[in-house]
């Protein structure tokens, strides 16, 4: 068996049939069942071609570990979490989120649909290691294709969305939806149309061969072009499993998760629904968001990158709102997990509310909330990504660059949780200076990490 995947910022991921083999997924399922004993699971997946093979492996492992598991077919990750919540069971999502079609992975939710915490992840990791070292036999049995269970799960999720959005009226809005050829390909166009919007849906293939390929929340060129060419009011791009969303305004300007957080924060505060007047976001959020929130007497709490850290801080601080720049937004007044379709509906509802009183208002104006600081991102493929953490040469380089960029600047260097890359973020007031810092840091990291 190749080097096995481990839990990263959001579940376990790897290249199908290389690091993420059916045999490993069987053992992972067995370990999940043993650690989360006497728990019932629902198991769903996105559109990837490797999904059915890994479903068979995962469910076989869960069953071997004494768990009960029900396959609910192709459905978004939030749809899986919603079914776990409604039925008071645990859940697994077979997905690699925004990764390419060649990858896949497993996300694990506890009873009620909340993602498992780091302690449970660590226990599952230890159990998998023990099973591998003990030479645990692998017995993968085919799972019958679902019919009624998938239909029921789809209806359950749709009813959940309707309940959480109070039947929003989106009539009069022309909306582009980029479904990333992923799990949202049916639900997103259907519910937006049901709410009265004129829907233009793109990238709705369901064969799994082109999931996230030059489309969706991480490749926004096609939706930007579609919004402008169709004279649409707004656009929403989901990733492969639709737990995140990015917004494109009527001018084709991308509005990432920072802008969504700003919009929700002001809306909730005005409705007296922003508990403790605080927002939770990761260290990747733009400094412009922090300044905007401070100006509006809202506190910003920062966490490491990863929605599980955001959620943990939200629970600790009893926050209503939290999320990531990548578009993974949690509205605790609605759910305890990120849901791209739900958040797109909530943004649309705020827009429609204002549109009905100000017919000339545009989504560009709706999101014209703050001026972002210059923020550059890069990633370097390396051999020893772990060397990027707490390395004195890198820390010294960061200190030097911040002195050059000024007090308002930020530099974030972190190894990826799922890939052999180190990610760099440089934030400052002047683009040329930020780019020069990025270039120098890239050289240092290449030298240290190989």
Catalytic residues: 97
- Cα 184 to the center of its chain, rounded Å: 13
The structure tokens 């728990």 sit at 39
Measuring CA to CA, which residue among 47, 75, 42 is closest to residue 58? Answer: 42
Tokens of 42: 């629902």
Beta strands 103-109 and 321-323 are unpaired
Give Cα separations from 51 to 174, 240, 285, 337 (angstroms): 33, 13, 33, 22
Considering only CA atoms, give the Rg of the chain.
22
Given phi > 0 = left and psi -120 to 50 = alpha, else beta, which region is 75? beta
Give every CB contact of residue 111 below 8 A, 6+ residues apart in sequence.
Answer: 39, 84, 88, 89, 90
The DSSP output letter for 350 is: H
Given phi > 0 = left and psi -120 to 50 = alpha, else beta, which region is 272? left
Gap between the Cα atoms of 40 and 43, Å rounded: 10
Give Cα separations from 295 to 199, 288, 291 (angstroms): 36, 11, 6
Decide: 180 and 238 in contact? Cβ < 8 Å.
Answer: yes
The structure tokens 């789809």 sit at 154
């Amino acid at each position: 068996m190749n080097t096995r995947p481990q839990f990263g910022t959001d579940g376990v991921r790897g290249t199908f049939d290389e690091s993420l083999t059916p045999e490993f997924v069987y053992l992972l399922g067995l370990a999940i069942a043993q650690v989360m004993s006497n728990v019932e699971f629902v198991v769903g997946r996105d559109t990837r071609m490797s999904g059915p093979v890994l479903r068979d492996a995962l469910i076989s492992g869960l069953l071997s570990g004494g768990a009960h598991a029900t396959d609910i077919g192709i459905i978004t990750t939030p749809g899986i979490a919603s079914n776990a919540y409604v039925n008071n069971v645990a859940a697994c999502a077979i997905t690699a989120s925004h990764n390419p079609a060649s990858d896949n992975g497993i996300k694990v939710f506890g009873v009620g649909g909340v993602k498992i915490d780091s302690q449970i992840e660590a226990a599952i990791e230890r159990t998998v290691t023990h099973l591998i070292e003990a030479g645990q036999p692998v017995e993968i049995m085919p799972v019958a294709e679902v019919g009624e269970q998938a239909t029921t799960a789809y209806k359950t999720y749709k009813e959940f969305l309707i309940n959480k959005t109070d039947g929003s009226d989106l009539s009069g809005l022309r909306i582009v939806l980029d479904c990333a050829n992923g799990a949202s390909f049916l639900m997103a166009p259907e519910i937006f149309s049901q709410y009265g919007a004129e829907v233009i849906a793109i990238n709705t293939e369901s064969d799994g061969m082109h999931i996230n390929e030059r489309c969706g929340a991480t490749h926004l060129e096609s939706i930007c072009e579609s919004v402008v060419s169709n004279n649409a009011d707004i656009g929403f791009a989901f990733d492969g499993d639709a737990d995140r969303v990015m917004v494109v305004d009527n001018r084709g300007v991308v509005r990432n998760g920072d802008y969504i957080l700003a919009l929700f924060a002001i809306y909730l505060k005005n409705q007296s629904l922003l508990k403790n007047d605080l927002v939770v976001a990761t260290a990747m959020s733009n400094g412009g968001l922090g300044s905007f929130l401070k100006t509006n007497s809202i506190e910003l709490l920062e966490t490491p990158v990863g929605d599980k850290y955001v959620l943990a801080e939200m629970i600790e601080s009893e926050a209503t709102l939290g999320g990531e720049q990548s578009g993974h937004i949690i509205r605790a007044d609605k759910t305890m997990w990120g849901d791209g379709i739900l958040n797109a509906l909530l943004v649309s509802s705020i827009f429609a509310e204002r549109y009905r009183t100000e017919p000339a208002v545009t989504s560009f104006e709706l999101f014209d909330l703050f001026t972002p600081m210059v923020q550059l991102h890069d990633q370097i493929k390396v051999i020893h990504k772990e060397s990027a953490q707490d390395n004195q040469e890198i820390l010294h380089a960061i200190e030097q660059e911040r002195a050059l960029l000024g007090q308002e600047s930020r530099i974030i260097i972190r190894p990826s949780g799922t890939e052999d890359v180190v990610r760099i973020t440089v934030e400052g007031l002047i683009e040329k200076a930020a780019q020069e810092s990025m270039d120098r840091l890239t050289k240092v990291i290449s030298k240290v990490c190989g």
